[in-house]
Amino acid sequence: MSDVRKQTRPEVFVNGKKVPSNRALTSLFDERYLSVFESIKSCNGTLFELGAHLNRLFESAKTVGFKICKTRSQLTRELKQCVKQYPNEDKFVRLMLDERNSYIFITDRKRPQSLYDEGVDLTTLVTRRNLVHSVPPEIKSNAFVNNVLATMDLIDGAGQAYDGIFLNASGDVVEATTWNIFAVKSGKLLTPESGFLHGVTRQFVIKCAELEHVPVLELRLTRHDFWNADEAFLTNTSGEILPIRSLDGRRIGLTVPGRVTQKLQRRFQRERDKELRRL
């Protein structure tokens, strides 16, 4: 089962000031309380792809209909002040905003190297992805019930799978609980075309594929496509590129990680480090 639920208690900052985690409270009397958030990677005190994350944060807020309480420059300043306390560490940063305050949570989110060496096993979730006409998947908000129910599917399955994939109402694969998903077939990189959160890391991987001259196709994909793929992997902020070993007990490909996956992992690291040096 995914190690996301095994993290240590985070350091918490409210409006840029460090507070005990048990004092980071919101009003109990606001029945319509809603927040939006972003997950950002800090590498040795430098925030990776901060601009793209802030763009998505402001888009989420606009879609749910509230005005963000801080400007981009204020949020950037708060984030940089917080992560500079960890100049020699990689950290997972969660920026959450409501209409009154900004909240920054900083913790470790390290995964065992064995997951990258051996790949992870996935299952198909019983819970289907929300209809895009009801809840736009591009929003990152605390209204995370769809993902909570999906996590319960994994727990009810005795924790045998590392994570699970969502299908939409048509039976197409859209994403995992907190990851975007890719397959490799005949040297081409395949990824779902719609119905998912447009991940910042997903877009960075597509850029890396283009630099490596790997064709990228965004299209409708079914489980059949993944079962018969040469390779497959997940992407998100903290995990970057994580190889998939199997889906629903069916092994994917002959070797894990596959050749294209390894090529993209290496390119990702080079491009990430290059961008961080420019900041």
Q: Let me know if 153 is exposed, middle or buried by CB neighbors in 10 A (0-12, 13-18, 19+).
A: middle
The mean per-residue pLDDT over the stretch 119-146 comes to 89
Please determine, for residue 4, whether its predicted confidence score (pLDDT) is greater than 50: no
Helix 200-211 / helix 50-64 crossing angle, nearest 10 deg: 140
Please determine, for residue 1, whether its predicted confidence score (pLDDT) is greater than 70: no
The DSSP 8-state label assigned to residue 131 in this structure reads P
Please determine, for residue 225, whether its predicted confidence score (pLDDT) is greater than 50: yes
Tell me the domains of the chain and their CATH numbers: 3-107 (3.30.470.10), 113-276 (3.20.10.10)
Residue 5 is predicted with a pLDDT of 47
Residue 240 is predicted with a pLDDT of 98
pLDDT tens, 49-85? Answer: 999 999 999 999 999 998 888 999 999 999 999 999 9
pLDDT tens, 227-242? Answer: 999 999 999 999 999 9
Assign 6 a pLDDT band (cuts: 50, 70, 90).
Answer: low
Residue 16 is predicted with a pLDDT of 84
d(CA 100, CA 90) in angstroms, rounded, equals 29
Residue 34 is predicted with a pLDDT of 85
pLDDT tens, 114-126? Answer: 999 999 999 999 9
CA dihedral of residues 165, 168, 170, 172 (deg, nearest 10): -40
